[in-house]
A and B are shown apart, each in its own frame.
Chain A
């Protein structure tokens, strides 16, 4: 079985500060891992994904995440927060070849203070 845990339902940072959103997963098979972003009353947009290969993954809007198998983690980071980064972020896991059948974490709402 697969599952995802996002640590912290709300994270608040100051503009220009480091963003760190935590995600831990469990999976009995090699996972595919994703981070999605959702703005209010909108659908989800893919930020980045890990499938195979390089464990440090770069995504859109300056975000990146590192797959750490030993820690079963896939934390999302951004060096410098911008006001436009305020949104809800979801970590998700899937199996190989089932990229749309996702198991989601509970979500983390990111607030950015001026």
Chain B
């Protein structure tokens, strides 16, 4: 079954620790995206990558980092520099000329 897998579904970390969220897709999509969701604010773009070994900042990239070493994988690291990291994180992918994004099931990160 083709799709996007995010893991883990729930993640707890202590303040000041870096944490990496996993996102894997087997849709053969070139482009991948990370969104952050907060109640009442919709989704906001953190980072995106249109091809392997290349990525661009989205609207709220501060305190986050990504890598794109493989087409299938686009991990997101939430660093200690992110002031308010507790949120629901969604990964998505689309084909290079695609007109729609496909989303994973999300990771809920809680920092205590």
**A interface, CB within 8 angstroms of B:** 4, 9, 32, 34, 36, 41-46, 49, 51, 90, 97, 99-102, 104-107
Q: Which of A90, A100, A105 contacts B31 (CB 8 A)?
A: A100
Interface residues on B, range: 20 to 34
Residue B81 CB within 8 A of the other chain: no
Asked whether B42 lies within 8 Å of A34 as measured between CB atoms, the reply is no
Asked whether A100 lies within 8 Å of B106 as measured between CB atoms, the reply is no
Asked whether B106 lies within 8 Å of A41 as measured between CB atoms, the reply is yes
Asked whether A90 lies within 8 Å of B99 as measured between CB atoms, the reply is no
Can you identify 28 A-B contacts, CB atoms within 8 angstroms? A4-B42, A41-B106, A41-B108, A42-B105, A42-B106, A43-B90, A43-B105, A44-B90, A44-B103, A46-B102, A49-B99, A49-B100, A99-B98, A99-B99, A99-B100, A99-B101, A100-B31, A100-B33, A100-B93, A100-B98, A100-B101, A101-B58, A102-B45, A104-B43, A105-B42, A106-B41, A107-B40, A107-B42
- Nearest neighbor of B42 in chain A, beta-carbon distance: A104
Most B-side CB within 10 Å, residue of A42, A99, A100: A100
Q: Which residues of A are found within 8 Å of B58, using beta-carbon distances?
A: 101
Contacts A100-B33, A100-B48 given; does A9 touch B40 at CB 8 Å: yes
Residue B21 CB within 8 A of the other chain: no
Could you tell me the distance in whole angstroms from the C-beta of A68 to the nearest C-beta in chain B? 20
Q: Which residues of A are found within 8 Å of B112, using beta-carbon distances?
A: none
Q: Which residues of B are found within 8 Å of A32, using beta-carbon distances?
A: 99
Most B-side CB within 10 Å, residue of A101, A106, A107: A101
A10 to B100, CA, bound (A): 26
Q: Which residues of A are found within 8 Å of B6, using beta-carbon distances?
A: 43
- Nearest neighbor of A103 in chain B, beta-carbon distance: B45
Asked whether B100 lies within 8 Å of A101 as measured between CB atoms, the reply is no
Asked whether A43 lies within 8 Å of B103 as measured between CB atoms, the reply is yes
A31 to B15, CA, bound (A): 40
